[in-house]
Amino acid sequence: MSKGAISNLARRISIRQLQVFDTVSRLRSFTRAAEELYLSQPTVSMQIKKLESDIGLPLIEQVAKKLSLTETGKALQAAAHDILEILGRFEMEVEDQKGLRTGQLHLAVVSTANYFAPRLLGQFRHQYPGIKVTLEVTNREHILERMLSNSDDIYLIGKPPKSSELEFQPYLPNPMVVVAPVDHKFAKRKSVSLQEIADEPFILREQGSGTRIAVEHKFANAGLELNIGMELGNNESIKQGITGGLGIAVLSLHTLTSGDMNELTVLDVEGFPISWQWYIGHPRSKRLSIAAKTFIDFMYEEGPLLLPENVIDSTLVDMTMMKNNKRNR
């Protein structure tokens, strides 16, 4: 292909088309790509068809409801990734030159931080109104997918994976407690045994969830088998299930609001709370923008002040450790 032909093709392909294709090829789903890009599914499909028409070859195949890339699609995915990464680095250079007057910050957090992260971001935006902030709240599996594809600036996750390509540092405690209806038979009991609790029907998060990993490890180490009543995909549904008498659950203390405690109670169970923790992470090779670096500093300064009182008063919070983490970064 001549240089002129390459130039003509480059003129026909837009950056937006590359962004859409990169997202579809990463997620292998038009629906999930549309959700992530805040577009309609027909718009995503139309962008891909236009891209295939401009290139003159198919990029995506669908076999048995599964999307896969053609050889041309794989080549374009690699090219799109390089182009978008170069543009991203250029954008960060511009942001650094502008300082914090303008800029962008992309944060992705696990669902247990759904009650914590928006308040922290709200305070950050108040202090730095020129920064445009986006927040993605999802489960652990999707957080890991986003980390590997370098979709965001900063990630907040419960149990970091072992990977030489990712970098993590400890953040705030995320204690896990056993939650039941206020009228549960163990509601007023002191020191309920793990054996007694194991016999109760449990509502668990989906496989791969950080909360579920913590719960399964706890009972497996005690040689006990959980009585799994049902699985639900988010904490709000689990709280509704507990209120409706479908079972008990282990939840992050951060997910319990004062309004919840009118219908729910935290049981006094041996070995609980589970001393879980949040971690701040990003790809090791990522060059953090000045906005991202400033927000990480802000997380360590202001985050502890947003913890629930029952977390602050417990020995789970080690303020000295958090200050040292910030100082040593």
Question: What whole-number distance in Å separates Cα of residue 200 and Cα of residue 248?
Answer: 7
pLDDT at 239: 92
Domain covering 176-266: architecture: 3-Layer(aba) Sandwich (3.40)
pLDDT at 314: 42
Strands, E assignment, the chain: 60-63, 66-69, 103-110, 131-138, 154-157, 166-173, 176-181, 201-204, 227-231, 249-252, 264-266, 277-283
Strands, E assignment, 57-165: 60-63, 66-69, 103-110, 131-138, 154-157
Question: What whole-number distance in Å separates Cα of residue 221 and Cα of residue 230?
Answer: 22
Domain with CATH 3.40.190.10 in the chain: 99-174+276-328, 176-266
Assigned CATH topology for domain 99-174+276-328: D-Maltodextrin-Binding Protein; domain 2 (3.40.190)
Q: Per-10-residue mean pLDDT for the chain, 329 residues long? A: 55 86 91 88 91 90 86 92 84 70 85 86 89 89 86 88 85 90 90 90 86 88 89 88 92 83 90 88 85 90 74 40 43
Domain with CATH 1.10.10.10 in the chain: 3-84
Closest CA to 89 of 305, 283, 317: 283
pLDDT at 172: 87
Query: Coil, strand, or helix at residue 101?
Result: coil
pLDDT at 201: 93
pLDDT at 305: 81
One CATH from 3.30.1540.10, 2.60.120.380, 1.10.10.10, 1.10.357.10 for 3-84? 1.10.10.10
Check if the beta carbon of residue 78 is closer than 8 Å to that of residue 84. no
